[in-house]
Amino acid sequence: MPEPRHLHVGVALDGAGWHPAAWREPDARPNNLLSAGYWVDLARRAEAGLLDFLTIEDAMRLQSDHPYHPDQRTDRVRGQLDSVLIASRIAPATGNIGLIPTVVLTHTEPFHTSKAITTLDYVSKGRAGLRVRVSARPEEARHFGRREFAEVDPRRRDQPDGVALVSDLFDEAEDYVEVVRRLWDSWEDDAEIRDVATGRFIDREKLHYIDFSGRWFSVRGPSITPRPPQGQPLVAALGHASRPYQLVARSTDLGFITPTDQVSAAAIVEEIRREESLAGRPHGAVRVFADIVVFLGDTPQKAGDRKARLDQWAGVKYRSDAFVFTGTATQLADLIEDWAIVGLSGFRLRPGTLPQDLIQITGQLTPELQKRGIFRQDYEEPTLRGRFGLDRPANRYVTA
Amino acid sequence: MSKPLKQIHLAAHFPGVNNTTVWSDPAAGSHIEFDSFTRFAQIAERGKFDFLFLAEGLRLREQNGLIYDLDVVGRPDTFTILAALAAVTDRLGLTGTINSTFNEPYEVARQFATLDHLSGGRAAWNVVTSWDAFTGENFRRGGFLAEDDRYSRAQTFLQTTWELFDSWLGDEIVADKESGVFLSRADAGHFEHRDRHFDISGQFSVPRSPQGRPVIFQAGDSDAGREFAAATADAIFSRHSTLDAGQAFYTDVKGRLARFGRRPEDLLILPAATFVLGDSDAEAKELAHQVRLQQVSGQTAIRFLEQLWNRDLSSYDPDGPLPEVDPDTGEHTIAKGRASVRMHRDPIATAREWREKAAAKKLSIRELIIEVTGRQSFVGSPGTVAGAINDLVQSDASDGFILVPHITPGGLEPFVDRVVPLLQERGVFRNEYSGTTLRDHLGLGPPRQATARQRVAS
């Protein structure tokens, strides 16, 4: 695999930003978080900065800062829209940026998810992705009433009960992605024939039952929606441990990881490459991205002061699963260059506050990366797959 | 004093996956590319229509064990396409058919509340239930329900989503940057629902949307279905588009409302209707015949016949006489994934009627099917069609119509350009939208709170 000439940079959108006090910033729009205009503005800004993609966080529950139950807090952003629909609402208002919403697979139907992402791919003309996540949270399960999960502190997931739960959830995730992908291929590209002479709209030989049968679900197919423009939209997942890394390596195109430095980034990339190879996939098939939470300022002092003010509002120092960066765009560019050499395709930046840190990313960081010759000057490939040098894949059901 | 003129409500049904849609016409475009949906929606909005309507089917239809290939096949995900259409329209209502059988209340409520937010209050839900294990094969829940259970689950499903919509009152988000108070109450979105079908509790994650909840459509026609609609729906998608049948249905359903403490104007009756326009009535009539021939090819006629006969009739000549053999009254196996199959309650009697009609009028199979499988509702010059629509509405056969063009995406355009102005001249259809939400367009007040909801004072 040749080294990519350019780094890829995506932005992770979530409410008013990732810091719990982000909504109190002067330029925050906490009353607009549920409006289309808010999301369209952010997406257009990200696109103006030539970012590869945006992701949108989602869950089947009200936000909570407690690791495994609701927190009853009233001082943080609460209330959230369905991310697939936000992405679809954004799509006609943008033209280049990749759109990767989040789907909680534990409580949803792979059939619905597959056609929803297909439709997003049609609406965006080939810019759709899908980030899958599992949920072990008991309160989320109670919203559906079909499964029960015990309250397990995620930090104790190395206990036997926790290991079994995690293993089940990720086994199911792999089945789920498999079904979604098979459904994407369940129509051959030229299945719609509109043959007036024979009266046939489709050639039914080019539609395929997927006949998936597994422990959690069986799905017959074919999809009700023709094959998406990209053939296979990109699938992404975030992981912090070995079992999720296996999901990333076996089932996804984009892996989001949370290293704390160059050394840990290298170790995680190596583990994913090993799993990728065990899964029989070509080296580098998965594009690995490091997540970084960013608080940016024109000077280190300004960035630090802003972060300190946010922490003061929140009443606690901000902690994250990802590395927290505070500084200037130039300093961030240095860090990005330093980490990237261990085999990262790029970075998924989590803005500490919106729109402030997104403005810094697109106004300061990407120009700096361009200056260093490691970021695109313009969008070249119209599809999200194309942006990663991925061809439109052959359909698994087409027999030569 | 004469009765004031009723205002007509008009909606545009995106052409569906049945033989009403003529895909073989040179003007017919894509049924899946977003540009088709955009164009269709923008034509409807230019005509000041109340809303766009999307049907849904969660498994491709089959006949004789094979995927049915004579009609349009394939459609997008309902929610996703409606959210995108919200970006290319400003006022048009966005009505999606969503099956309650293969979904859970929390996710459906979340999606509709989101669509309502993202469209500024234009979301509507046509609530349907499914009956077949055939469709269930695509879902983790399977989904087969006995007929009685279907209504009971659909009813509690809808009730449960209302409780979720109503779990936020609309005043919870304070977002006071100064004091740091974002929410006025920690229990915002709290809900608890326990019955035979759903045992769920927790906090709903989408704050109250502009319309409070989406406009609710039903299509039920049975007694139970009408009762369900009278109790809960804002509008009925009916199939009674003629004067007599329309008036009978209208009187029956509107008459049920008082028992639920509702006024006649709280529930709109909107039948589906097709149309063919011509410069003259004679020209329109000729065009309508041509459209019928396109809609019912010889092959399509045989497939229709098979749906009643419940047998393989592929060896019959569509231009020949009807089969002598009677329908197979055993388990219905020939056609799957179709609502119409269930409508033939007594196949033997219907077959007898069809044979008698064919004999009396000397009709071939194809001619008979053209005759019995529906006809264009409105055929004529723009003036004739405008008059017919207005007459039906003013004589309480309906409150308006959901128009189903037979060409995608441009089939609605002649209606918008030629009939709508005539209705506007008569003062029975809006010249401009007067409100921003679909509830505004339909003249519906704010939604009633779910009856089962009891908020504990905090």
Please name the member of A85, A107, A224 whose beta carbon is closest to the beta carbon of B80. Answer: A85
Q: Which residues of B touch A61 (CB under 8 A)?
A: 202-203, 205
What average pLDDT does range A327-342 have in this prediction? Answer: 97
Partners of residue B299 in chain A, C-beta under 8 Å: 199
Cβ(B156)–Cβ(B247) under 8 Å? no
What pLDDT was estimated at residue A302? 97
Residue A94 within a domain: yes
Looking at the DSSP bridge assignments, the partners of residue B206 are: none
Identify the residue whose tokens are 């119409």: B340
Nearest Cβ partner of A217 from B77, B140, B177? B140
More confident residue, B240 or A87: A87
User: Cβ separation of B188 and A78 shorter than 8 Å?
Assistant: yes
Asked if B74 and A225 come within 8 Å (Cβ–Cβ), the reply is: yes
CATH number at A20 reads 3.20.20.30
Q: Do A201 and B72 touch (CB under 8 A)?
A: yes
Say which of B72, B76, B168 has its CB closest to residue A225. B76
In a domain, A218, yes or no: no
Which phi and psi angles does B387 have, rounded to 5°? -65, -40
Size of the A and B interface in Cβ pairs below 8 Å: 231
Q: Is residue A374 part of a domain?
A: yes
**Predicted local distance difference test score (pLDDT) of residue A350:** 98
Measured between CA atoms, the residue of chain A closest to residue B56 is A224
- Dihedral class, residue A198 (left if φ above 0, else alpha if ψ from -120 to 50, else beta): alpha
Contacts of A311 (CB under 8 A, 6+ apart): A21, A317, A318
A5 inside domain: no
Higher pLDDT, B223 or B430: B430
- Stretch A214-224: mean pLDDT, rounded? 96
Please name each of the domains of chain B with its CATH number. Answer: 9-279+376-442 (3.20.20.30), 297-372 (no CATH)
Residues from chain B contacting residue A34 (CB–CB below 8 Å): 117, 206-207, 209
Q: What confidence tens digit (pLDDT) does each residue in B165-221 have?
A: 999 999 999 999 999 999 999 999 999 999 999 999 999 999 999 999 999 999 878
User: If contacts are CB pairs under 8 Å, which of residues 312-351 in chain A contact chain B?
Assistant: 313
Provide the pLDDT confidence category of residue B1 given band limits of 50, 70 and 90.
Answer: low
Residue B140 has what pLDDT? 86
Q: Do B202 and A79 touch (CB under 8 A)?
A: no
Average pLDDT, chain A: 95
Span A216-236, average pLDDT? 97
Question: B84 and A92 in contact by Cβ < 8 A?
Answer: yes
The residue in chain A having the minimum alpha-carbon distance to the alpha carbon of residue B301 is: A199
For A116, which of B77, B168, B183 is closest by C-beta distance? B77
Which two three-digit tokens encode residue A377?
């000057």
Residue A281's pLDDT is 97
A51 has pLDDT over 50: yes
Residue A165 lies in a domain: no
Q: Which of A83-92, B285-294, B368-377, B424-433 has the lowest mean pLDDT?
A: B368-377
- Per residue in B74-107, pLDDT (tens digit) is 999 999 999 999 999 999 999 999 998 899 999 9
Question: What pLDDT score was predicted for residue B452?
Answer: 37
DSSP character string of B389-418? HHHHHHTTS-SEEEE--SSTTTTTHHIIII
pLDDT digits (tens, 9 = 90+) for B320-344: 999 999 999 887 778 887 765 555 6
Nearest CA-CA partner of A97 in A55, A159, A142, A140 = A55
Flag whether pLDDT at B143 surpasses 90: no
Mean pLDDT score of chain B, rounded to an integer?
Answer: 92
The alpha-carbon gap from B116 to the nearest alpha carbon of chain A, in Å, equals: 10
Degrees (nearest 5) of the Cα angle B22, B126, B391?
A: 70
- Asked if A203's CB is within 8 angstroms of B77's CB, the reply is no
Whether pLDDT at B245 is above 60: yes
pLDDT of residue A3 exceeding 50, the answer is no
Q: In this predicted structure, which of A22-31, A60-69, B245-254 has the lowest mean pLDDT? A: A60-69
Distance, in Å, from the CA atom of A105 to the CA atom of A237, rounded to the nearest integer, reads 11
The answer to whether the beta carbons of residues A358 and A351 sit under 8 Å apart is: yes
The domain tally of chain A equals 1
Distances from the Cα of A392 to the Cα of A76, A176, A227, A233, B99, angstroms: 42, 22, 11, 9, 33
| Distance between CA atoms of residues A45 and A328, nearest Å | 19
The lowest-confidence range among A190-194, A389-393, B443-447 is B443-447
Interface check for A70 against chain B (CB to CB < 8 A): the answer is: yes
Residue A368 lies in a domain: yes
Contact status, residue B214 vs residue B116, Cβ threshold 8 Å: yes
Domain limits for position A31:
11-141+227-387
pLDDT value at residue A148: 87
What distance in Å separates the CA atoms of residue B297 and residue A200, rounded to the nearest whole number? 11
Q: b/e for B186-210, b at 16 or more Cβ within 10 A?
A: ebbbbbebeeebbebebbbbbbbbb
Q: DSSP assignment of B63-125, as one string? A: ETTEE--SS------HHHHHHHHHHH-SS-EEEEEEESTTS-HHHHHHHHHHHHHHTTS-EEE
Q: Does A90 touch chain B (CB under 8 A)?
A: yes
Note the pTM of the prediction, 2 decimals.
Answer: 0.96
Q: What is the pLDDT of residues A348-396, one digit of tens each?
A: 999 999 999 999 999 999 999 999 999 999 999 999 999 999 999 999 9
Which of A27, A38, A57, A82 should we substitute to test contact with B (largest number of B Cβ atoms within 10 Å)? A82
